[in-house]
Structure 1
Amino acid sequence: MESAKLKLYVGADFVSAFAMSAFVGLKEKQLSFDIVTVDLKARENYLPAYRDLSLTCKIPTLVHEGFALSESSAIAEYLDEIAPGHPKLLPQDLRQRARARQLQAWLRSDLLVIRKERPADLIYFGPRDTPLSADAQSAVQRLYFVAGQLLEQGAEHLFGEWSIADTDLAIMLNRLLANGDPMPAQLADYVRRQWQRDSVQAWLDQPRSLAPKH
């Protein structure tokens, strides 16, 4: 495959958890790609040119040989298909792969209150001093329970070897850890290990010049 034909559209502020997931996936696959930024604050993602490309007006969007695909979990599966000889983003075992997809879907469809009260931008621009609401605290406990069950006995990764689900889970947890919210030591250590991956560090190295107003 001609990896040079890959383009990844991301928000210009480089804070989206979903854009980070797609970026990390490409880096882990060791694929060359160009980054195209979209100014979400100026609503460039709703302009006809981007709307017609992404269909959903969301970032990230991956473009490969004229084919455009949005939704980070779909992008991860697509990358495994077009680059099967590279490291896998999803577990090879059938049931572990299904569990990884379950976790990805849950992280994206539930826990909305955590994403609202602990947005990903605080990971890069500093903590908030607003306490978590009762609903958010309840969601946090669900998150910690699920993570604890999947990372029994201090496992380094969710499924024996790293998968993109590790990055997705670490991002959600780091919304809380970076803000200074209480977290079990086992989960905090897991986040710190995931954050040291070269692919994650490459995302952190992207330019972020404007902190959002809190």
Structure 2
Amino acid sequence: MESAKLKLYVGADFVSAFAMSAFVALKEKQLPFELVTLDLKSRENYQADYRDLSLTCKIPTLIHQDFALSESSAITEYLEEIAPGHNKLLPQDIKQRARARQLQAWLRSDLLVIRKERPADLIYFGKKDTPLSDDALAAVDRLFFVADRLLEGGAEHLFGDWSIADTDLAIMLNRLVANGDQVPSRLAAYVRRQWDRDSVRAWMDIERAAPAIQ
């Protein structure tokens, strides 16, 4: 990769699962980057300068030279392309790589009810007292089925070696683990293993301000 400073735009609260995924990808690649924050509550991401940069007004956005890219899964694939000699973010086997992409897409497009009832904020700031709705419980059953199937035989990672899909799945599962919801013990252990990675620890070690009580 050409020597060029990378920038990653994330929300100033540091709670976005997608920002975390992009941050972990950069750390796993061991690429130096500057972290730039936006105050999403004051809608800084909708201001013209950021809109023109990101196109979609979303975080995270990666800047590489004069190129800007949003969407965490797209950022992962771009990093894999520009730094192929660094640690791999996706499986090398073509079928496993396709399966990892399938899982990433599913985690981002489905399970909205889990993300709504168990927002990523509670991983950092504490539990919600409300029980899961029937719709959320049904989504949790789907999540556990997929995780069990992909982690058959007590696998440490999804596809042999670690991939960014492990981080993405662990984030979704940890919404439940951190809240004290019932999670199968081996899936909870999987989350703890993923959370013990240096790249994830680096994200968790970022100082955060607890949201104001309404």
TM-score by length of 2: 0.98
Partner of 1:62: helix, strand, or coil?
A: strand
Cα distance, 1:209 vs structure 2: 1.5
5+ residue gaps, structure 2, are none
Cα distance, 1:172 vs structure 2: 0.2
The equivalent of 1:77 in structure 2 is 77
Asked if 2 retains the 8 angstrom alpha-carbon contact of 1:4 and 1:33, the reply is no
Equivalences for residues 3-14 of structure 1 within 5 A: 4-14=4-14
Letter aligned with residue 62 of structure 1: L
The alignment of Structure 1 onto Structure 2 pairs a total of residues equal to 214
Cα distance, 1:211 vs structure 2: 2.5
1:129-169 Cα offsets, whole Å, 9 max, x none, are: 10000000000000000000000121100000000000000
Partner of 1:18: helix, strand, or coil?
A: helix
> Cα RMSD over matched residues?
1.0
The equivalent of 1:16 in structure 2 is 16
- 4+ residue segments displaced more than 4 Å: none
The equivalent of 1:107 in structure 2 is 107
TM-score by length of 1: 0.98
Partner of 1:127: helix, strand, or coil?
A: coil
Partner of 1:45: helix, strand, or coil?
A: helix
Asked if 2 retains the 8 angstrom alpha-carbon contact of 1:111 and 1:139, the reply is yes
Asked if 2 retains the 8 angstrom alpha-carbon contact of 1:91 and 1:163, the reply is yes
Distance of 1:38 and 1:115 partners within structure 2: 21
Cα distance, 1:7 vs structure 2: 0.1
Asked if 1 retains the 8 angstrom alpha-carbon contact of 2:170 and 2:194, the reply is yes
Equivalences for residues 1-214 of structure 1 within 5 A: 1-2=1-2, 4-211=4-211, 213=213
Identity of aligned residues (%): 79
Cα distance, 1:213 vs structure 2: 4.0
Partner of 1:210: helix, strand, or coil?
A: coil
